Each structure stands twice: as structure tokens, then as C-alpha cells.
Amino acid sequence: MTNSRPGLPFRRVESSFGFSLKVIVRSTLVALSLLVAVAVQGQTPSTTDTPEPPQVVAAGLAGLENDRGRGGASTGNMTYHNGAVQRAQKVYTIFWNPTATPFPSSYQATINQFVQDLNGSSYYAIASQYSDTTGNIGTAVSYGGTWLDTTNAIPNNPPTTTDIFNEMNRAKTANGWTSDSNSLFQVFTPSGYGTTTDYCGYHVLNNPAYGLILYPSNHTSGTCFPGGTYPNSNVIDAAINTFAHEILEAVTDPLGGGWYYLDYAGEIADLCNFTFGTRGSDGSNATLNGRKYLIQQEWSNASSGCVMSYAAQAAPTVTTGSASSIAKTTATLSGTVNPKGSSSTLYFDYGTSNSSGGYGRFGSSDATA
């Protein structure tokens, strides 16, 4: 639980697309048949035989600051485990505060604003590189609403996952909220709860997804505060940082069969826990919809590292034209490639039949794109 490491590898690799033009020449260059194949790297979910994680009730723990890298000493790309993601996520906030200690001014409002500012951001788009069998996660996240509960007692300290589940259902009833597999209900508890735990928050593998964000504090074994200067306030920014952790994990791994590395503690946010990159003089490292935030980086398979943003690249287009000037040993082949801003290599494969193997090949240094 105290696998403390000074930092995590940050490695940015320029994305590139690999594609090929296959030109099949039949019957000794008498007739030409053109075949195009395009392969886009990094978009196909792997189908490894990694066992499913145990269906523990609470997963996706946001560990304490000294607990970063719980996935293990090594890091690596997220792998897909054949289950669902939340392709159109909708986030609700529930502020459970029956105690005499109210949340600070702007706590609820700023946290709710954060969800709305996430929508369409390049930060949230980090999730859009991940997919399930139906398609990729969208770049939009919906804000479902918020509820301040000053009435119902919190039965345990820390509240159990059953307590959180029951509070979610009270919120749904009180507000007429419906839910589905895209829903995430995040419950925020007030000061004094969970201060001896080894986590700052978690999401539960469930349909609908729900979870807990503790009121940020210094715990007995670590802290939930990022440290340094804060763009909003120490507790607001620390809570939003944990919230960002859980939102990005719930959207990519809502039920435990989505994307993670090694085990359930190695989800997209875990490998970058409390990794912030460059911060401005105001302490922020992100500007979303014009507002400043301090939120951890998230794992990007496209970069094999922790990043603050992601922009999907358009797939390249490839077309081939007719062969011309066909002679006994020569022919003119034509093709058009639009790499859509990606670095690219292209080549023609050619042979005397459609059968696989045995093609000749000439590459981009010989071809005009």
C-alpha cells in the first residue's frame, strides 16, 4: 500500500499510421488488379487471455499521494478485457452532508462546474482512444445533476459501499433521476470521514457506476492533497483531482471488464496518480472552458505514458488508380494517399497472382504520394 515512487515515466511518442498499397499484378503483367489495404495502428483492442479481476465491490481506488503506481513497479499500456466502457457517460454528484460541518463555500459549485467544463475537453478526450466492441468512448460527458442531502445520517465512518449505494438510490428517488450503464453517481462526504483509510476515493464496478470522494485531508498513512499552490483551494482542487481520477476510470472500466493494466488497481488513472506535469504559477495544470484546474494526468496508450490531453487523429485515406502504360516488364501504377497530418510510409506490393506471399515491394522513396 505504500509503494512509493518518485515519479512515473513520461514518454511521448508521435503517433503514426502504417498503411500499405497492395498492387497485385496478374498473369505476367497482362492484366492488373489493384487491392488496397489500410492498417491503423493502436486502435484495435487486444484480446489477451489475462484473467478477469476479482469482482471486488469497491474498485478503482484513488490512492493516497504516497501510494502512486499501485499497479506495480512497472507500467505499461492498458489492455482490453472484453467488457463494456461508458461510451456516453453521464455524471451526477451527491453531496452527503448531514453533519454540522458544512462543505466550504464553492465546494459543491466548483466541483459541479468541473464536470461541465470536462465536456468536450482535450483532457476528457484521453478516454476517447479506448473502446469496447460497440465503438469508442465519446468526447462528450453529460452533467446529470446534483443533490445536497443534509438529512440522512451517514451510518458508518468511513461509509461502506452499501451506504454509498443506498445514498445513490435516495438521490435518484428524491430527484427523479433515471440511470443506465452510462451513469456515474459520485458521492461526496464531509470532513472527518475516512481519514484513516488508504484511499481518497473510489468507483464501484456496478451498473450503474457509483463511488465515493472523501473530503480531502491528510490521512494517517498519506495525503490526498497535491501540494503546492492551488488555483481554487486546497480542498476543492484535491477533491476535483480525485474526481477526475474516478471519472476517467469509470468511463474506461465501469464493470471491471474494460481497460486496465495488471489488475483492478492499474486503471487509466492509477498509473498516473498524483502526476501533474508542468504547473503554472497559480498551481494549475489545466484550463478547461476558461477555468483553471489541477488534475492528474491519465494514461494514454497512444503515447504509452501519462498525458494531459489527447486529440484523435483522422484515419488516412488511400485510393489506387488504374495501371497504365502496361508493357511486358513495366507498368505505371498510381495511387493517392492523404495521411491526414500523420507521418506516413507507403509502398506498393506487386506480384503475378492474388495469392499471398511472394510479392515484390517498392516503398515510399520510389513512389509519389
Footprint (CB under 5 A) of Zn ion, residues 81-110: none
Least separation in angstroms between CB 351 and Zn ion: 51
Give least dist CB 344 to Zn ion, A. Answer: 36
Q: Which is nearer to Zn ion, 164 or 269 (CB)?
A: 269
| Site string (126-165) toward Zn ion, x via CB under 5 A | ----------------------------------------
Q: Which of 65, 132, 167, 270 binds Zn ion (CB under 5 A)?
A: 270
Considering the rule CB under 5 A, would residue 69 count as an interface residue with Zn ion?
Answer: no
CB-nearer residue toward Zn ion: 53 or 60:
60
Q: Which of residues 236-265 bind Zn ion (CB under 5 A)?
A: 249
Q: Is 60 in the site for Zn ion (CB under 5 A)?
A: yes
Give min distance, CB of 340 to Zn ion, in A: 34
- Please, what is the minimum distance in Å from the beta carbon of residue 185 to Zn ion? 17
Contact window for Zn ion (CB under 5 A) among 54-62, 141-149, 150-158, 317-325: 54-62
Site for Zn ion in 272-311 (CB under 5 A): none
Q: Which is nearer to Zn ion, 163 or 270 (CB)?
A: 270
CA distance linking residue 129 with residue 297, whole number of Å: 15
Residues engaged in binding Zn ion (CB under 5 A): 60, 62, 249, 269-270
